[in-house]
Amino acid sequence: IDDIKTDDSKIILMTPQGKTYNQNMAYDLSHEKHLIIICGHYEGFDERIRTLADIEISIGDYVLTGGEIPAMVLVDSITRLIPGVINERSHLDDSFNEKYLLDYPTYTKPRDFRGMEVPEILLSGDHAKIDEWRYQESIKKTQTKRPDLLK
């Protein structure tokens, strides 16, 4: 750690005992200049390593054999928020964005799949109505699947 740490480094310790990771943390970490992620394996790590960490993060209330997969979760969720990695509009419309809603339903081709049709509004070309439909569907989906997200 001492060999790679800079004044701009933020040191993250992956541990089930850490603060539960969420989209807001991903946004915050995407603004950091240099991240160092420490991963334990099997029984974890020497307790004294905690003194090196700026933050301890957990990706959920379960235990894995090591911190490598949780570190990959952080890297993927943070990297996509860095300008130029993906189209910014893509992540602003995602679930858990600033609206705290799940993403609206998505449809592709064909128009009819086993008797299930793409909603007509999405084929209308009326972008204002489509945006309103998507917003209302996001609310419905969140109410049904994750009511804990609604404020």
What is the C-alpha to C-alpha distance for residues 82 and 91, in angstroms, rounded to an integer?
10
| Residue 56 CB neighbours (<10 A) | 16
pLDDT digits (tens, 9 = 90+) for 83-102: 888 877 665 666 566 567 88
pLDDT, position 117 = 96
In the predicted structure, residue 34 carries a pLDDT above the cut 80: yes
What is the C-alpha to C-alpha distance for residues 13 and 17, in angstroms, rounded to an integer?
10
Structure tokens at 19: 């603060």
pLDDT, position 35 = 98
pLDDT, position 95 = 58
C-beta pairs of 135-143 under 8 Å, 24+ apart in sequence: 135/104, 137/104, 137/105, 138/99, 138/101, 138/102, 138/103, 138/104, 139/101, 141/101, 141/102, 141/103, 141/104, 141/105, 142/100, 142/101, 142/102
pLDDT digits (tens, 9 = 90+) for 49-59: 999 999 999 99
pLDDT, position 41 = 84
Mean pLDDT of all residues in 94-115: 82
Mean pLDDT of all residues in 53-82: 94
